[in-house]
Amino acid sequence: MTRKLAVVLFNLGGPDSAAAVKPFLFNLFSDPAIIRLPQPLRWLVAKLIAGRRTKTAIEIYNRIGGRSPILPLTQDQACALEQAIEGLGLGVTVKTFIAMRYWHPRAAETAAAVAAFAPDDIVLLPLYPQFSTTTTQSSLQEWHLAAAKAGIAAPTRVIESYPTDQGLIQAQALLLGKALDEVRSPVRVLFSAHGLPQKVIDAGDPYQRQVQQTAEAVARAVSRPGLDWVVSYQSRVGPMEWIKPYTEAEIRRAGSEGIALVVLPIAFVSEHSETLVELDIEYRHLAETCGVPAYIRVPAVGTEPAFIAGLARLVETRLATPAE
């Protein structure tokens, strides 16, 4: 009998309606990996932040159709990956599943579906190329709890990070090269990643180091001698210090120097509010007001064939190693 393989893809998720915005925000800020306070203080802080940010967040999502596109885009990636794994001829029946961290389908829902599939093997694949305690670790912790409650006992393997995976780098370099062809020099590539509080990095989180590794690999792969590039960080909230340089500061610097910008979301593999609103609308407006000669945004890798093929190879390689 053919063995059955379940591949579980993890992402943050996003609200699918205006009514979902407030509970989505509460789920986000009640995560102990995000708000590192003991209960019940964390619950109270999450309620406060969600209440204060709901109106602004609804306005943000209204600019992109009233909902986050991340679930349908992740579903597209899951379908493409399933086909790519089948094409490897591994002799398994493969089915992909999606577990979102802060909105549906949550880990408990997905674990129930995986249990019903009754796989012989499971591979957990976060759609965060760079590992962070705030994303990968948080998602995996929730999964392990949900899987235990669902009675899942199949051998499970984890792909924790892949910041320099050949498929990821090839896909990003291809998209970056197309964007660079659209603009005349002088031009600077801005590898923009979601930020983290500096204290998270100081505590040993490898995210910033791995983001740098991804950017260096893409810069090499694009094969543009003398390429001017920098890594920057976006989406910070609150008064605390976040990792630098900030994307908006780099946009202002480019404007003062009269340098065009090609902006690549180095840590996002699918489009969502941080790319479609923050990068495409808010930062574009900032670039225009700061005198940046040109502002071109590189798409997220999405279902680029090289990226999906890379994920399939990661699954194949991990499947050949011992389970946890």
- Residue 184: what pLDDT? 85
Rounded-to-integer distance, Cα 105 and Cα 116, Å? 15
Has 194 been labeled as part of a binding site?
Answer: yes
Percent of the chain with pLDDT over 70: 100
- Residue 185: what pLDDT? 82
Has 144 been labeled as part of a binding site?
Answer: no
At 9-20, the pLDDT tens digits run 999 999 999 999
pLDDT level of residue 237 (50, 70, 90 thresholds): confident
- Residue 44: what pLDDT? 94
How would DSSP label each residue in 288-306? HHHT-S-EEEPPP-TT-HH
Type and span of the H or E element at 138: helix 138-149
Mean pLDDT for the chain? 96
Residues 6+ away with beta carbon under 8 Å from 184: 260
At 249-265, the pLDDT tens digits run 999 999 999 999 999 99
- Which domains are present in the chain? 18-62 (no CATH), 166-297 (3.40.50.1400)
pLDDT level of residue 36 (50, 70, 90 thresholds): confident
Q: Regarding beta strands 187-194 and 228-234, do their DSSP bridges make them parallel or antiparallel, or are they unpaired?
A: parallel
- Crossing angle of helices 207-221 and 166-180, rounded to 10°: 60
According to DSSP, residue 246 is labeled: B
- Residue 37: what pLDDT? 87
Average pLDDT over residues 218-232: 97
What pTM value is reported for the model? 0.96
